[in-house]
A and B are shown apart, each in its own frame.
Chain A
Amino acid sequence: MKKLIPIFLTAVVCAACTTPSFAARAAGTAAAAPVPRAAALPVPAARPAAQADVPATETDQTLHAMHDEMQRARTRLALTGVDKPFYIEYRLLDLDVRTVTASFGALVSSSASRTRFMTVDVRVGNYHLDSSNFISEDGFQGFLGSTGEVGIDRDYNSLRQDLWLATDQAYKAAVTQMALKQSFLRSLTKPPEIDDFAPTSPMVKIDPRQEPEWSSRNWDEEAREASVVLKDFPHLYGNRVNYYLVYATTYRMTTEGTTIRSTRHLAAVEAALDTQSDDGMSLHDYFAVYRATPADLPDAAGVSKGIAAAAMDLMALRSSPLLPDYTGPVLFDAPAAASTLAQVLEPSLSGARPPLAMTRDFDSFIERFGGRSEWSGRVGTRVLPTSVSVYDDPTLADFQGQPLLGSYDVDEEGVKSQHVDLVSNGILRDLLMSRRPGPDFSLSNGHARSALLADPHPLSSNLFITSSDALKPDDMRKKFLDACKDDGHEWCIEIKRMDNPALAAVSQEDFSEFVGSLGSGIANGDRAPLLVYKVYVADGHEELARGGFVQGLNTRALRNMLAVGGDPYVLTYMQNSQDGLAGTALGAFGDANAGIPSTVVAPSILLDDIEIRGFHGEPSRIPLDAAPPLK
């Protein structure tokens, strides 16, 4: 057993984190009266209930080892003088990953890895008040931790040994945490009344296991072939074309009787391209395609075509004029609208509340881990135009023939996935819930999601934004130009595609630089567009321009929209719950840029009074030396 160490620690580094599973405990509950979704289930006594049996005919030793060690812990794990565990949960991830990276037709890296991770959650207390949802300065520091890398043989003995130690450590951590939490609660004048943990019905679901299949195509060669087209763009500085093929089998077992084995796959191609304009502005572009299985990925020629199109856009940007400051109507084409709505709405949809924290130092940390939700507490009020409705549906497999990547049967807490009507005719009706109760709702609606084995948060899956008053494209355009005219503009702004800096950065360094340039902008509603056009009122002609951020575009700006189109676009992307930017496929298995496969289906939108700030920075120098030829 080895401790789990993320490839890049940046996303979860926190000075006070005592164990890698610290992040896994940072989310949850706060002070306010609970409003139950439905009549609460009876709260069981503080004793673990029985487990589901694993059929004797089952050949999967992983299930047997999990079952047997859990049974031992459930019946015998106890320290004298303190609470016994009331809830034990084992999660295990069996991961096969193939990654290939090429640049300008040359292979940069090619690897295959097989790993297994486990994480053990043990709680003391009861559903109302347990050892979770609390961040203290100094918790328990075990020698091995409750999270770690385990053997890949799928054998019985080594897994039991690892689970035994992890369970022991998790129990001791829970006991320490509970003591600290109770002493903290005693110091508060009004302790929070929201329950720590929502009960749920047990679920037994053992899907067939699937073995990785990636030998039918020569991925090294495909990556070379797909990227060689970039040699036709001498002004391109650098690029990386990444193929990711992932097979993941997830196990979950709890003392509530849940036993789940489910398999998921993901195949992705993500390309990052960058250059500089002649006046020194750094510019980038990206291409991404996500599919459920490797076999579904487009062939090299298909990928090459997409990458070349992105490179052409980038070259056009390179020689385009700078965008001036602007305030007025902005037309977001459907792809840009889907991306923008995803960025703006996602952080508002969670109904969970942040954990209790002993010190204020944790505030910013909590915020990044699902503590901020702008719509929490606003149920029943109007949050969007009355024509607009929003729902999230992980149960749908496709939309108008296009596959939806955010679909799943059972969420990361073993709760069955559910359709949730979030906003009906502009009124907020519901929020996304995990098993962490919040001020508005108590019970889960099957939206606990996470990358790798991180702590699940309520996140969207397949998010749909619809309008009962959708305009046809021509009408939409007319309304846009009319709004421009009324506002006295010679030209107005149309955004065709939003940026995705996590994807577009060729190196981690470039990404950090970009995030740095945003400053605190993301939190204040700064959004980065990529393809921005000036549309002239007189004759409707378009001019591409570069630079600039959309400023202050937050949920409040969406309450009033001038118009909504009837042209739904299916945007598949990697959701990142942490810093307000979309993630990458690598995030789906443990990178800093955490990524959770998701879909947003949204039409074009026309917004008024949008502020765009042009480029005001100091452009970098261009290289002193001409680039050496690529061919």
Chain B
Amino acid sequence: MMKRDMRHKAFALAAALFAAAWVCPAADRSAQSTPPPAVLAAMQDELSRSMQAYSAADPPAYFLSYTVSDRQLADVSGSNGALLSSTEDRARWLEVQSRVGSYQVDDSHKLGDRPPSWTSPGTNVPIDDDLPVLRREIWRETDRQYRAAAQALIKVKTSEQVQVQSLESTAPDFSSEQAHTSIGPRVEIHVERKPWEERVRRYTAEFSKSPAVLNSIATFTALSTNQYQVNTEGTKLAFGQIHYRLELFVQSKAPDGMDIERYANFDWLDPKDAPDEKTVFDSIHQLIKETEALDKAPLANPYAGPTLLTGRAAAVFFHEVFGHRAEGFRQKDVAEGQTFTSKVGEQILPSFISIKDDPTESSLGGQMLLGAYPFDDEGVVATDVHLVDKGVLKTFLMGRSPLVDVPHSNGHGRRQLGYVPVARQGNLIVSSTQAESFPELRQKLIELVKKQGLQYGLLIDDISGGFTFTGRGQPQAFQVTPLVVYRVFADGRPDQLVRGVDIVGTPLVSLTKIVATGDKPEIFNGYCGAESGSVPVSAVAPAILISEMEFAKKETSTDRPPVLPPPAHDSDATKGQAQ
């Protein structure tokens, strides 16, 4: 599921903590120059000592890893013209992974239908570089995690459910990976919050000028993460990432009670690339315009027919429909639908489409890609993975949970802090060899509409996250929420904005019904929430024309718009002008 924005503070904060983009130089280039930080040295010392003790224990630990995430977060948020919060925080989070058994069968082995634990334990450790205290915390957490792993292994060993359920369940539980050493420079942010406090007040006050806007939130976040990681395979990493983000969010309500929500976000890596006032205000005015138009727009009817998705909408579509199903760990879980498990080498898309996931690129055409990182959260080097070549499925996104035919990670084991990493998308990039201009695609849409004897086709300009059901117990369907949808009429009438539809359908079918693609890749930066929490991702795609797509009526709220007019727009106010 991909979301561009977070409405709730707790979620936004949690997500922002892990948002990051790669700013340190490429790993191998930086390795020689910087001396290992003291924290890393302390972690290494404790690791060697622990491995000696725990590899000789019963059951022996075969793998230990320590990760310390040192985060600095500034967060400035405004709502309806006032400052909501302004905070700055620094924290270090320690995670210890202790694996007992063997790479083939270890404590993480999945038992029957029992859902695995997605959360990962950890603890706050001092931000002062007091190394004996840090080592004490590591010592304690190692023992705790070893105990938990040893107990889990007993369950695995004694479980009658350890039996072959499918070919993929014979794959090892954990992949062995090559050791990697990379010591990058420490990154830091220096944020002046005062100017941002003024800005978020101004931005949300601008929204309040429209009576249609019931609630608005603007949030600026600046985050630096310095991640230190050592493991008993010999990996030793220190790398930093910085990310700045501005999110705009508005809520409204149509007269029939339907909730209207619009979002916009800006992401940048260097303070000098922050959006200027004009850019932000243009975006605010655009959001207001769309909100007011959606409030008045007629409800759409259920529809099945030709549909044109703009690049940004198509990018989300691919992320939901294809990307999640290409995540490796889903292929070995019997509870999963395993849409693509047996399809490697088969044609799943038209031959003019190729898809890769490339976290090593931090920008495309001068625009930032949010899903970039140098190493994944399992200490594996990020790699560019060609998932679909000329329509043929080639491989899967892999973390360290291997498949029979894909025994190693390709650096996509990702997680939000506090979760266990699994294979996730980074920068999903869709390309096409059959590029056509947008007016050409539009013309093709109208031709298809006419051919199918319909009055109109749909143009989707913006999509918010949706739900992708990948589990076996659920229909193999996806539901994404188009935010801005137009009817494009066959008879040449002007386009009409409509509201209240959800895309429904089955993934395999809709992918094969792509008949044409655009010539300009568009980027969608957002946060993707799944089993291992919320991670920053990008999806890039050209516009796509689908010969048939199905839409259902959106579930609407029974909660009507407020009884009284907004206080600032109440001509009949008993009292209450701005003071």
A residues adjacent to B (C-beta < 8 A): 1-3, 5, 7, 61, 64, 68-69, 71-73, 75-79, 101-115, 140-144, 149-153, 155-162, 164-165, 168-169, 171-172, 224, 231, 237-238, 507, 509, 620-621, 623-625, 627-631
Pick the interface stretch among B30-38, B50-58, B494-502. Answer: B50-58
Shortest Cβ gap from B406 to chain A (Å): 35
B251 at interface (Cβ–Cβ under 8 A)? yes
Q: A107-B126, A628-B135 given as contacts; is B85 within 8 A of A140 (CB)? A: no
Q: A153-B83, A157-B208, A624-B143 given as contacts; is B123 within 8 A of A507 (CB)? A: yes
B53 touches A143 (CB 8 A): no
A143 touches B137 (CB 8 A): no
- What residue of chain A has the Cβ atom nearest to residue B214's Cβ? A165
A106 touches B8 (CB 8 A): no
- What residue of chain A has the Cβ atom nearest to residue B568's Cβ? A157
Chain B residues, CB < 8 A from A165: 214-215, 562
Shortest Cβ gap from A540 to chain B (Å): 40
Chain B residues, CB < 8 A from A620: 147
Chain A residues, CB < 8 A from B259: 143
Q: A2-B9, A75-B574, A621-B147 given as contacts; is B566 within 8 A of A164 (CB)? A: yes
Q: A161-B80, A164-B564 given as contacts; is B132 within 8 A of A2 (CB)? A: no
A357-B78 Cα distance, complex, nearest whole Å:
39
B296 at interface (Cβ–Cβ under 8 A)? no
Chain B residues, CB < 8 A from A628: 46, 49, 132, 135-136, 139
Chain B residues, CB < 8 A from A61: 579
A625 touches B214 (CB 8 A): no
- What residue of chain A has the Cβ atom nearest to residue B50's Cβ? A625
B515 at interface (Cβ–Cβ under 8 A)? no
Interface string of B68-111 (1 = CB under 8 A from A): 00000000001111111111111100000000000000000000
A629-B136 Cα distance, complex, nearest whole Å:
8
A158 touches B85 (CB 8 A): no
A69 touches B567 (CB 8 A): yes
Which 9 A/B pairs are nearest by Cβ-Cβ distance? A151-B82, A106-B126, A158-B82, A106-B130, A625-B53, A158-B80, A106-B128, A153-B82, A168-B562
B325 at interface (Cβ–Cβ under 8 A)? no
Chain A residues, CB < 8 A from B142: 625
Chain A residues, CB < 8 A from B493: none
Chain A residues, CB < 8 A from B573: 72
B residues adjacent to A (C-beta < 8 A): 7-10, 46, 49-50, 53-54, 57, 78-91, 121, 123-128, 130, 132-137, 139-140, 142-143, 146-147, 201, 204, 208, 214-215, 217, 251, 253, 259, 557, 559-560, 562-564, 566-568, 570, 572-576, 578-579
B568 touches A161 (CB 8 A): yes
B563 touches A68 (CB 8 A): no
Shortest Cβ gap from B232 to chain A (Å): 14
Chain B residues, CB < 8 A from A629: 132
Shortest Cβ gap from B218 to chain A (Å): 12
11 A-B pairs within 8 Å (CB atoms) are namely A144-B215, A149-B9, A151-B80, A153-B82, A153-B201, A161-B208, A161-B566, A161-B567, A164-B562, A621-B147, A625-B142
Contact of A2 among B79, B201, B570 (CB under 8 A): B79
A164 touches B567 (CB 8 A): yes
Contact of B80 among A1, A101, A109, A224 (CB under 8 A): A1
Q: A109-B89, A109-B127 given as contacts; is B53 within 8 A of A624 (CB)? A: yes
A285-B74 Cα distance, complex, nearest whole Å:
35
Shortest Cβ gap from B215 to chain A (Å): 6
* New A-B pairs, 19, CB < 8 Å, besides A143-B559, A160-B576, A631-B132: A72-B574, A105-B130, A106-B127, A108-B125, A110-B90, A111-B89, A113-B87, A143-B251, A143-B253, A152-B82, A158-B82, A168-B564, A623-B140, A625-B54, A625-B142, A625-B143, A627-B139, A628-B46, A628-B135
Chain B residues, CB < 8 A from A509: 121
Q: A152-B83, A238-B137 given as contacts; is B143 within 8 A of A5 (CB)? A: no
Chain B residues, CB < 8 A from A164: 562, 564, 566-567
Chain A residues, CB < 8 A from B143: 623-625
- What residue of chain A has the Cβ atom nearest to residue B130's Cβ? A106
B121 touches A238 (CB 8 A): no
Shortest Cβ gap from B303 to chain A (Å): 26
Q: Which of A105, A112, A168, A625 has the most CB of B within 10 A?
A: A625
A2-B204 Cα distance, complex, nearest whole Å:
13
A107-B84 Cα distance, complex, nearest whole Å:
28
Contact of B564 among A73, A144, A151 (CB under 8 A): A73
A103-B46 Cα distance, complex, nearest whole Å:
19
Shortest Cβ gap from B427 to chain A (Å): 30
B89 touches A72 (CB 8 A): no
A192-B214 Cα distance, complex, nearest whole Å:
40
Shortest Cβ gap from A591 to chain B (Å): 13
A109 touches B137 (CB 8 A): no
Contact of A108 among B126, B136, B140 (CB under 8 A): B126
Chain B residues, CB < 8 A from A78: 563
B578 touches A157 (CB 8 A): yes
Chain B residues, CB < 8 A from A224: 128
Chain B residues, CB < 8 A from A158: 79-82, 204, 208
- What residue of chain A has the Cβ atom nearest to residue B51's Cβ? A625
Chain A residues, CB < 8 A from B79: 1-2, 150-151, 158, 162
A108 touches B124 (CB 8 A): yes
Contact of B49 among A106, A157, A625 (CB under 8 A): A625
Shortest Cβ gap from A96 to chain B (Å): 12
Chain A residues, CB < 8 A from B87: 111-113
A292-B557 Cα distance, complex, nearest whole Å:
46
Chain B residues, CB < 8 A from A624: 53-54, 57, 143, 146
A71 touches B574 (CB 8 A): yes
- What residue of chain B has the Cβ atom nearest to residue A509's Cβ? B121
Q: Which of B147, B564, B579 has the most CB of A within 10 A?
A: B564
B208 touches A237 (CB 8 A): no
Chain A residues, CB < 8 A from B204: 158
Shortest Cβ gap from A114 to chain B (Å): 7
Contact of A104 among B50, B130, B559, B568 (CB under 8 A): B130
Q: Which of A165, A168, A224, A628 has the most CB of B within 10 A?
A: A628
Shortest Cβ gap from A222 to chain B (Å): 14
Chain B residues, CB < 8 A from A621: 147
Contact of A157 among B80, B84, B89 (CB under 8 A): B80
Chain A residues, CB < 8 A from B125: 108
Chain A residues, CB < 8 A from B147: 620-621
Shortest Cβ gap from B61 to chain A (Å): 10
Chain B residues, CB < 8 A from A3: 8
A629-B121 Cα distance, complex, nearest whole Å:
24
- What residue of chain A has the Cβ atom nearest to residue B56's Cβ? A624
A630 touches B132 (CB 8 A): yes
Shortest Cβ gap from B221 to chain A (Å): 15
A113-B8 Cα distance, complex, nearest whole Å:
17
Q: Which of A149, A156, A158, A238 has the most CB of B within 10 A?
A: A158
Shortest Cβ gap from B456 to chain A (Å): 30
Shortest Cβ gap from A48 to chain B (Å): 14
Shortest Cβ gap from B207 to chain A (Å): 10
A103 touches B133 (CB 8 A): yes
B217 touches A2 (CB 8 A): yes
A111-B53 Cα distance, complex, nearest whole Å:
38
A429-B83 Cα distance, complex, nearest whole Å:
50
Chain B residues, CB < 8 A from A623: 139-140, 143
Chain B residues, CB < 8 A from A104: 126, 130, 132-133, 136
Chain B residues, CB < 8 A from A140: 559
Chain B residues, CB < 8 A from A101: 124
Chain B residues, CB < 8 A from A7: 10
Shortest Cβ gap from B2 to chain A (Å): 22
Q: A3-B8, A5-B10, A238-B140 given as contacts; is B82 within 8 A of A142 (CB)? A: no
B133 touches A143 (CB 8 A): no
A156-B576 Cα distance, complex, nearest whole Å:
9
Chain B residues, CB < 8 A from A102: 126
B136 touches A630 (CB 8 A): yes
Q: Which of A69, A108, A114 has the most CB of B within 10 A?
A: A108
